[in-house]
Amino acid sequence: MNKNLKNKIEKKIGRKILKRGDCEYLSERIFNENNKNISYNTLRRAFDLDINSNVKPSKSTLDILSNFIGYNSYNEYNRESNWNKKWDLKTKVCGLINRMEDDELIYELNLAWVKNDDFAIMFVGVLRELLLLGKIKLANDVILKSKIDLIDLNYSELVFIGNGIGSVLRKIKVDEEDLELLLNNKFFVDYIFLLFVDYSSLNGYYGLLYPIIKRKKINLRIDQNLFFESINYFRDLLLGNDIEFIKFNKFKKELLHPILIGRLASIEIAACKKKNINYDYILNEISEMISISSGHTIDYLYELKSISLLQQDFYLMQWICSCEDDINLQLSINHHKNHDEKNVLWSHNFLVNEEYHLAHEQYSFILHLILSIKNKDIKKTNLVLKKIIKQRWVLSYHCYLDLFFTLGNYYSTNNIDEKSLLIDHYNKLCKHLNYPVFDKNYLKNYFD
């Protein structure tokens, strides 16, 4: 049973629940005050006094105990309790930021880390406030002096941190000196710049990162250098510039994450397209890696989707979708061979056991939408449109995806008024993204 709920009950009755007599006393108090029957044996189990029982309190028991301290139900108690806890935490964060005392900030962050007490919320709150106030050097010092190892956080917590802090950087003015400072901070490289891949800001702060790395000769791991180099090439494509081959075949790919491999492959494909060279050799290598991969198989395809949409490469889109169908079939076979597999959520196209897989799935739906329009498959177009949920999109890719979603909507309707609204929205996205490749002709000629 919830420890705080126990404490509140004991505080109300003015005694600890330690033995049978305490349970009998509590049972009588509950009956007298709330006219609810709950046996002392049930209370013994609820307060973990029965060492021979592993039975957890039922919902009705928790409701009665919550009623006793003034709540309508256990669910209501939980909601208010969590709200108060987070409100207290946010209030503390505001106070710390107001005083701007870095030693106290560091102490509280370390304390939250040790207690694992809504650490991510406090951490993001502190860093966001410091960045919004222009205290970038203080934010950098707070991280460097803290005794925090984020490797112990789960993926969802890391994504929350990356999104929470990365989304602020795109809103504030960050000069090159500050960006250089952050690029020398391992935390910002690993958990912000590499996690929050800001496709909306390649003409802003995010597009400045690689030139600063090169000019200032910032020491990064080989995979980090490759990441920023590939991002710079992608920026060149959006700006309409020519790009060079990234020499995909020469990398030791066993040392790289599948998403980075896919990103490098996408740049090589773009270079091949520019020079009218067949790129099947890249797809064959990706297929081979997927076939021997023990996990994260769909990660290889993520950035291939980005480049296929950008370059109107319907052949590549079809290859990706076929590849995902094969992956899904194999996952289905493996699932049926292992009936005891637990905590796995089945989704339309993928076996989903991480929140980010839902984002992969949404990206695939965008590809299916574009392909169905290209193939003039109206039934499939309408079916796919119903499955696209913007709330599940990756935050840093949101505007980029929205542009192709809007494009797809534009070509899937014959309603003049809807088309007019979609053109307006498309133009707003083009202005916001500010990439020369996206203009009226891009929309008009996409399926030509």
pLDDT at 65: 93
Q: What per-residue confidence (pLDDT) applies to 351?
A: 38
The answer to whether residue 342 scores a pLDDT higher than 50 is: no
Q: Where are the alpha helices (DSSP H) in 40-175?
A: 40-46, 59-68, 74-99, 102-115, 119-132, 136-145, 155-169
* pLDDT above 90 for 304: yes
Mean local confidence (pLDDT), 93-105? 53
Q: Dump pLDDT digits (tens) for 176-214.
A: 999 999 999 998 999 999 999 999 999 999 999 999 999
**Coil, strand or helix at 229:** helix
Task: Please tell me the predicted confidence (pLDDT) of residue 336.
Answer: 46
**What 8-state DSSP symbol labels residue 154?**
-
pLDDT tens-place string over residues 217-236:
999 999 999 999 999 999 99
Cα angle for residues 348, 353, 354 (degrees, 5° grid): 105
How far apart (Å, rounded) are the C-alpha atoms in residues 330 and 334? 6
**pLDDT tens digit string along 430-447?**
999 999 999 999 999 999
Residue with the bigger pLDDT between 422 and 89: it is 422
**Number of alpha carbons in the 13 Å side-chain half-sphere of residue 252:** 3
Give the Cα separation of 446 and 448 in Å (integer): 6
Task: Return d(Cα 103, Cα 138) in angstroms, integer.
Answer: 11
Phi and psi at 346, nearest 5°, equal -85, 130
C-alpha to C-alpha distance for 264 and 285, rounded to whole angstroms: 12
The pLDDT assigned to 343 comes to 37
Non-local CB neighbours of 216 within 8 Å, separated by 6+ positions: 180, 183
Top pLDDT among 313 and 7 is at 313
Residue 97 pLDDT greater than 60, yes or no: no
* 84 burial type by CB count under 10 A (0-12 exposed, 13-18 middle, 19+ buried): exposed
Q: What is the mean pLDDT of residues 401-411?
A: 97
Does the pLDDT of residue 335 top 50, yes or no?
no
Residue 336 dihedral angles phi and psi, to the nearest 5°: -70, -20
CA separation, residue 432 to residues 172, 348, 403 (Å): 15, 32, 11
- Main-chain phi, psi angles of 149, to 5 degrees: -120, 100
Share of the chain above pLDDT 90, in %: 53
Calpha distance 365→94 (Å, rounded): 41
Q: Which of the two residues, 82 and 107, has the higher pLDDT score? A: 107
Residue 119 CB neighbours (<10 A): 22
Q: What does the pLDDT look like over 24-65, one tens digit per residue?
A: 999 999 999 888 999 988 998 899 888 777 778 888 999 999
Counting other chains too, the contacts that 236-244 makes at CB distance below 8 Å and 24 or more residues apart are 237/270, 237/307, 237/310, 237/311, 237/437, 238/202, 238/310, 238/433, 238/435, 238/436, 238/437, 238/438, 239/203, 239/435, 239/436, 239/437, 240/436, 240/437, 242/274, 243/267, 243/270, 243/271, 243/274, 244/271
Highest mean pLDDT among 18-22, 99-103, 132-136, 265-269: 265-269
Query: What percent of the chain has pLDDT above 70?
Result: 82
Average pLDDT, the chain: 84
Higher pLDDT, 346 or 424: 424
Contact 170, 204 (CB under 8 A): yes
Strands 345-346 and 351-352, by their bridges, are antiparallel
Structure letter (DSSP) for residue 55: P
| 416: pLDDT strictly greater than 80 | yes
Is the Cβ–Cβ distance between 44 and 20 less than 8 Å? yes
Instruction: Return the amino acid letter for 195.
Output: L
Three-class secondary structure of residue 352 per DSSP: strand
